[in-house]
Structure 1
Amino acid sequence: MEAQELHRGRLIDHLQLVVKDLAASRRFYEAVFDVLGIPIGGSAEDYFWADELFVSTAESEAAQGKLTGRHHLAFQAADRAAVEAFHKAGLAAGGRDNGAPGERPYHPGYYAAFLLDPDGNNIEAVFHGEANRSAPSVTITF
């Protein structure tokens, strides 16, 4: 695997999804990452990765022979158009609709779309709005 830039101070260092059909997952993630401007960082016969997301087969050494359960992942989008492009590209690449692009009540300006990837993971693209572009962080209370 190639060397990557190390970022200290993040809550999440990386995530791994173990999937049934790597080719179907790669088509889906390449399509949504392309419109979000995230390149595939590397790949081999039994995995691929982009940024901090590692996707592998159950046969991959790191997977220990087990599929991961259902997860929710949210990717930041540069603007509303990127959220809409994410949704369209994901549907065309085998994703299933789980929430069309639109405003959400989580905080003012929260604009998101949701797709289920080929393994049923809930994948979101979110733009936090113009007012939140320069803010260092957003606090959400549940």
Structure 2
Amino acid sequence: MQTNEIHRGRLIDHIQLVVRDLPASQRFYQAVFDALEVPMGGTADDYFWADELFVSTADSVAALGQLTGRHHLAFQARDQAMVDAFHKAALANGGKDNGAPGFRDYHPGYYGAFVLDPDGNNIEAVFHGAAQRSAPSVKVTF
């Protein structure tokens, strides 16, 4: 048997959403990122990005002319107040309510809110509570 160490932390390298209306999406995500205290990484005429999320138009070189389907993305929040601020900012900037801020039965302390972005993607902000704050590296035996 071989033992491999697997790092748990940043599982996703990046996600790309290809959208119909880039200015509407940029307005929505800028408000969401501001509420979550995530800086915008960069912008151009056909895309913008922050952290691991890249959003572009269909005619962007990176998009290959195709819109992406509907996705569920969950962003981490520092606390319940940040989840609340996310929901409020999203609704004020083109988002549609898909689940008001509150506790969910997923695990103890799970506090989240859901909105649909201008393209219908289910966007969530979640605070996992103090008990769920860190995920250590684990060893897995194959």
Aligned amino acid, residue 77 of structure 1? A
In structure 2, the residue matched to 1:136 is 135
Q: Counterpart of 1:121 in structure 2: which amino acid? A: N
Aligned position for 1:60 = 60
Which has a greater percent of strand?
2
The alignment's TM-score, normalised by the length of structure 2, stands at 0.88
Give 1:3's aligned residue.
Answer: none
Gaps of 5+ in 1: 1-7, 138-142
Q: How much has 1:11 moved relative to structure 2? A: 2.4
> Percent identity among equivalent residues?
76
Q: One-letter code of the match for 1:34?
A: D
CA distance in 1, matches of 2:11, 2:111: 23
Total equivalences in the alignment: 129
Distance change >3 Å, CA 132–CA 55, structure 1 → 2: same
Distance 2:21 2:73 in 1: 19
Distance 1:9 1:107, change over 3 A: closer
Normalising by structure 1, we get a TM-score of 0.88
The alignment yields a C-alpha RMSD, in angstroms, of 1.3
Q: 1:7-35: CA deviations, max 9, x gaps?
A: x9732100000000000000000001101
**Structure 2 Cα separation of the partners of residues 112 and 88 of structure 1:** 13
Q: Deviations over 1:51-101 (max 9, x none)?
A: 000000001001011100000000000000000000000000010000000
